[in-house]
Amino acid sequence: MLLDLARSRRILFVGGKGGVGKTSVAAALALARARDGARVLVVSTDPAHSLGEAWDHRLSDASTRVYEAGAGFVDAVEIDPQSTIDRHFATVADTMTRLLPDRLHQSARDHLDQARSAPGSHESAVLERIAQLIESSADTHDLVIFDTAPSGHTLRLLALPQQLTGWTETLLASRDRSERFAAAARSVVGTKDPEPTADSELRRTLIARRDRFAHMRTSITDPEQTSFIVVGIAERLPVAESIEVVRQLDALGIAPAAIVVNRRSPSDAGPVLAERREREEEHLAVLRAAAEGIPITQIPLLPGDLAGGDALAALADQLID
> Looking at the predicted structure, is the pLDDT value of residue 107 above 90?
no
76-93 pLDDT, tens digit per residue, is 999 987 887 787 777 767
Residue 243's contacts (CB-CB under 8 Å, 6 or more residues apart) are 286, 287, 290, 291
Identify the helix (H) or strand (E) that includes residue 166.
Answer: helix 151-189
Q: Which of the four pLDDT bands, split at 50, 70 and 90, describes residue 120?
A: low
> Looking at the predicted structure, is the pLDDT value of residue 163 above 60?
no
> Looking at the predicted structure, is the pLDDT value of residue 164 above 90?
no
In this structure, the strands spanning 256-264 and 226-233 are: parallel
Cβ neighbours around 69 below 10 Å, total: 17
> Looking at the predicted structure, is the pLDDT value of residue 170 above 70?
no
Average pLDDT over residues 199-223: 73
Intra-chain end-to-end CA distance of the chain, in Å = 8
Range with lowest mean pLDDT among 20-34, 90-104, 263-277, 289-303: 90-104
Amino acid at the residue 96: M
What torsion, rounded to 10 degrees, do the Cα atoms 204, 207, 211, 217 define? 140
> Looking at the predicted structure, is the pLDDT value of residue 171 above 50?
no
Whole-angstrom distance, CA of residue 105 vs CA of residue 220: 39
> Looking at the predicted structure, is the pLDDT value of residue 19 above 70?
yes
Runs of H (alpha helix) within 221-269: 236-252
Q: Which of 1-15, 95-109, 173-187 has the highest mean pLDDT?
A: 1-15
Cβ-contact 223, 8 below 8 angstroms: no
What confidence score (pLDDT) does residue 176 get? Answer: 52
- The mean pLDDT of the chain is 81
